[in-house]
Structure formats: C-alpha cells, structure tokens
Structure 1
Amino acid sequence: MTDRRPQFGYFPAPEAGAPTALLDTAKRLDELGFDLIGIQDHPYQSRFLDTWTLLSAIAAVTEKITVFPDVACLPLRPPAVLAKSAATLDLLSGGRVELGLGAGIFWDAIEAMGGPRRSPGESVEALREAVTIVRGMWSGKRSITHEGEYYSVKGLHPGPAPVHDIGIWLGAYKPRMLRTVGELGDGWIPSLGYIDDDGLAAANDLIDAGAEKANRDPGSIRRILNVGDISGLDDKVEFFVRYAREFRIDGFLIDCPAIHSELSGFAQNTIPRVRDALG
C-alpha cells in the first residue's frame, strides 16, 4: 500500500472541435480542488489539439492544478526540446508541470508524420537515452554532452532549470520498459483497458526489481492509473481504496461524461471518503 496522499485528476480527450470547453473544464477542476490534468499526446491524430499548446493554455487559466502529457510521444518530440518545453511551462505556472513520457506507439502514424519507425527494443533504448538528456537539460550544468545511438547533444548549454524537480512518469506495459521505470523513472502511468489486475501486480514486481537493481527505493516511484469513465461504478470509494491498497496506486485519472454534476459530487464526496479510508 502507498503511504502517499492519493491524488486525483482528469483525463480529457484533446478534441479540436470544442477547445473552449476543455479550458472551461480545466477551470472547473481547479476550482473543485483536483490535483492533476493529463492530456494524451497523439500529434498525428487530425481531430486532436497539440498537447503542449493545450497544456500551456490550461496552465494559464488555472492556479493550482498540475498538468502533464499523458504521455508525450517521444519519437515526435526531441528530448532536449521536450525538456525545455516542460521547464518553461513549469516556470510560467509556478511549478505545476510533470513529464509523462512514452516510447511510442502507432508507428505507421508516427512515420507518416516524419518520425522514425522503431522496433520495441530500439524504442526502449531511445527512451533511456532521452531520459538522460532530459535530466541533463534540467541539471544546471554549464554544458552537457551525450552521444547515443538515437539522440546526441554535444556541448549543449542546458536550461532553464524548472521551478521544482519535475517527475518523469513513464508509460509502460512490457517487461523491459517496466524494469526501466524502476531503474530510471519517477513514476509509472498505465491505463485500465490495456492492463488488468494481474497485469498491475506483475508490473509492480518488475518495477520493484528494476529499482532494486539500480539501488533505488521502489517506494519512491509513483504509480498513476488512468481509470477512464467512472460513471458506472457502483461503489467508487471501494474501487479507489482497493487499487491504492492492493497495487500501490497513488494517483487516479478519471473521465466523466456528465462533466459538472459528476465532478462536483466526486470532488466533494468521493475524494474525501477515499482519503479518510486510507488514513
């Protein structure tokens, strides 16, 4: 079981057809005291807004809520530029940014947009290199050099540094990526629908093993679950308490079709009851 205060967030689809509605929802979430807003990143999807631009707009109309890409499509976002984007938004928002990062999926669409096509093994190695460069960009060093097979920077002057230590939360399902979460990541972001309870338990074991191999504390790695639509849950409190206790989930991102009524009740009733139950 996690010993962190569980955080709750929202996972809206970045539909281009209703951009102002997305900002209105973000303001409502902020007013209700939600902790997180995560935006999926599929730049090749014609009906979606650009994730970083949307996150910036959300940060501008909110005051407290944290924003992050859930998760950024690394093959279409060079790591040094991505790190600078995250640090810039963290500075502008007063420290309200985390970085969700994914190795890539939907390779036909990525290649169609000018990105590289990578095998599963190549995508993991590219992500590992990217994490090194991203952290270097936030290090405050005078210059950084990394000569990798997929990404290289040579004598790069990093910066600016973010306001706070931005967490790198990795989207992962396969064993090698899950061990990488434990070795290099600050958090893990799976989604229900892509993983079941048995998968969560097995994934936690692999993350813990990766962390122990790297002499890291497995308990320091956050576990943030994209839950999706919760409107059909009979006992919402029991659902969240069980996932926190059994799978060490300390962050939940939900989706509600009936936005305002569902979110108000969830924020005012469900969240406090979950936190009380978890002590």
Structure 2
Amino acid sequence: MSAHKSSRPLFGTGGLTGVHEADATLRQAEQADRQGLDLFTVSDHPYFGGRLDGYSILGVALGRTRRISGLVGVSNLPTRPAPMLARQITSLSALTGGRLVLGMGAGGLWDDIEKMGAPRLGAGAAVRAMEEAITLIRALCGGGERVTFEGEFYQVHDLDPAPVPAPPVWTGSVGPKSLAVAGRVADGWLPGYAADWLSDRYRESRPLIDEAAASVGRDPSDIVTVYNLPGLITDRPLDSPRDKDGRWVGGSAGQWIEELTGAVLEHGAAGFVHFRVDGDPTPYDVTLGRWAEEIAPAVREAVAAERG
C-alpha cells in the first residue's frame, strides 16, 4: 500500500482492542473491508492484560477480509525484537497478498515496557534503535543474500531473509531525532497526539522530516502523512467543526468532506484514519458506515475531479 501526492487519499478506521471487544473488532474490520476502506489499524500495548495483541488482531482480521490492509499503529518495538518482527510481517504479508503496512514506534510508556522485561532506553537510544530496526527489517525482506548485521542494538549472523518484499514503513515520530529518522528511512508518518494539518505540531514537525529526507537524497514528498483523526460524525452540521483551540471535533458528513478535501488539496494530506470518540451516542456501525460510504467516496471524487 502506498499513497503519494498524485494518488487518491487513503481512508482507514481505528480498531477496538479490548479483550471484551474481540467480536466487535472483527465485525468492524469486515464492515470496513466490505464498504471500501483502505486500512484497518490497531494500537499496540502488549503490557496491558485487558488489550488484545495487535498482530494477533491483524492475523485474524485480515484472514476474514479480502481487500483492506492492516497496520499496527505503531508497533511497540522495545517488546518486539526487530528480527522476530521481520518474520511476523513477512509472514502476514505472504498470507494476505501484501495487505500490510509496518508501523514503527520507538516506545513511549517505559514504566509499563519495563514490566515486560525489556530494558529501559533513553530517548536518544530508543530512536537509534528504531532506525536500526527499520534498516534490519528491510534487510530481512525481499530475499537475496544472507544477512549479517552488527548494530548497536541488534546483531544477527548469517540469517536467511524471507522472500517477501518489505511493506511500507510508517513511523509515529514525535521528537526532532525521531522525525529525522522518518525522513531518512520511512515511507510515511503518523503525527502524534492526533495532530492535524492545521496544528502547530504538524507545522513544526513536517519540515524536520523534509530536511532529513533531502539530506540523504530522498524526495520529501515520498514520505506521506496519514492522520489519526478522532471526531464525531453527526447527522446534522455542528455550529463549528473545531473547538476554541482550533482542534478538529467533527461534524456532519458535509463538514468532514469539505475539511478533508481541503486537507488533501491544500496541505498534501495522504490519508486519514478515523477514530470514534468516547461518549459518541451513535452506534459504531452507523458511524463507520458514514465514514466509509459517505465521506471517503466524496473526498476521493472531489480530489480526483480537482486533479483531473
């Protein structure tokens, strides 16, 4: 899966991950696939006993669907050693016909990560480990010569790469060093804290990705920006789709269509993953249906018409 500035925008849905929500999670994935969405994403917090494992969700969900791609957004790297993560993603990719995006994160909740036996890394070391992991995972994809890798965090010796192409890699980079990693080695970026295209976080962060990409001879536009976007999808327009601080809160299908079309055409957005907000009184399948069957097709059509 890819999305560049010349292609149609991607639309996804953020999946439920509670153990008690397992059936609803699979119904959500099947509905999203049936209604034409591009991406089904789940979070990765393996230290919480009440959460389903992200890659287990994708394995079952992608097995029940035909077109939609899956993303663990983002993989909790400190608890998923890169060589084993490489085997997971190449296996899933082979089993699903390549319907996979690899989300990568440096790690965040370190007190919880340590409880699983993973060593705590400082911020700089965690980012270096992420870049090293992306490099190693790519080396272990696509066949070719056996891999020996002597890194700061990972060492493998004479390891056979899987004969499966590497999926696109999207990072959840937040800090300057992590954003630079996205520019150097990633294919996409998921802005943290649900920041959107009008936020200070985006305006201050995206140039760091572009500068890092250019510094290694990459075209910055090859690193797409896909937004995690929580919000209400209402049956009538809201007085304002943004709050007093300018943060998107949602609105009617028409308000979403206008906003997202502008995000693509004026701000270069490559895609959007919708998340239901807590307290939304609308049934989940209705919200997902509005997103998939009303908003996504209309934005795609408006973008295509504008781009000719």
TM-score range with shorter-chain normalisation?
A: over 0.9
Could you tell me which residue of structure 2 aligns to residue 161 of structure 1? Answer: 164
Could you tell me which residue of structure 2 aligns to residue 174 of structure 1? Answer: 175
- TM-score, structure 1 as length reference: 0.94
1:12 aligns with 2:12: no
Equivalent AA in structure 2 for residue 223 of structure 1 = T
* 3-state SS of 1:278 partner: helix
Equivalent AA in structure 1 for residue 187 of structure 2 = D
1:55–1:67: 8 Å Cα contact kept in structure 2?
Answer: yes
* 3-state SS of 1:158 partner: coil
Matches within 5 A, 1:20-169: 20-162=23-165, 165-169=166-170
- Aligned pair partner of 1:222 in 224, 227, 230: 224
Deviations 1:6-40 (A, max 9, x none): 01000123110121111111111111001001111
1:250 aligns with 2:270: yes
Could you tell me which residue of structure 2 aligns to residue 190 of structure 1? Answer: 191
Deviations 1:22-76 (A, max 9, x none): 1111111111001001111010012100111111000111110000110000000
Equivalent AA in structure 2 for residue 56 of structure 1 = G
Deviations 1:111-166 (A, max 9, x none): 0111120111001111111111100100312311111111111111111424xx41
Could you tell me which residue of structure 2 aligns to residue 265 of structure 1? Answer: 290
Equivalent AA in structure 2 for residue 121 of structure 1 = G
Cα distance in 1 for partners of 2:175, 2:75 equals 18
Equivalent AA in structure 2 for residue 215 of structure 1 = G
Could you tell me which residue of structure 1 aligns to residue 205 of structure 2? Answer: 203
Deviations 1:200-222 (A, max 9, x none): 12221111101100100111112
Q: Mind listing any 5+ residue stretches in structure 1 that lack a counterpart? A: none
C-alpha displacement of 1:192: 4.5
Q: Mind listing any 5+ residue stretches in structure 2 that lack a counterpart? A: 234-248
1:241 aligns with 2:269: no
C-alpha displacement of 1:194: 5.5
Cα distance in 2 for partners of 1:73, 1:129 equals 15
Describe the shift of the 1:194–1:111 C-alpha distance in structure 2 as closer, same or farther (beyond 3 A).
farther
Q: Moved runs in structure 1, 4+ residues, more than 3 A?
A: 191-196
* 3-state SS of 2:273 partner: strand
Cα distance in 2 for partners of 1:192, 1:76 equals 22
Equivalent AA in structure 1 for residue 178 of structure 2 = M
Cα distance in 1 for partners of 2:290, 2:41 equals 20
Equivalent AA in structure 1 for residue 301 of structure 2 = D
Cα distance in 2 for partners of 1:229, 1:106 equals 25
Deviations 1:164-213 (A, max 9, x none): x4101111011111111011101111245457612112221111101100
Cα distance in 1 for partners of 2:179, 2:301 equals 31
Could you tell me which residue of structure 2 aligns to residue 212 of structure 1? Answer: 214
- Percent identity reads 33
C-alpha displacement of 1:246: 4.1
Cα distance in 2 for partners of 1:194, 1:109 equals 24
Cα distance in 1 for partners of 2:135, 2:194 equals 30
1:192–1:227: 8 Å Cα contact kept in structure 2?
Answer: no
> What's the Cα RMSD here?
1.7
Cα distance in 1 for partners of 2:211, 2:146 equals 33
Could you tell me which residue of structure 1 aligns to residue 238 of structure 2? Answer: none
Q: How many residues align?
A: 277
Cα distance in 1 for partners of 2:284, 2:272 equals 17
Deviating more after overlay: 238-247 vs 82-91: 238-247
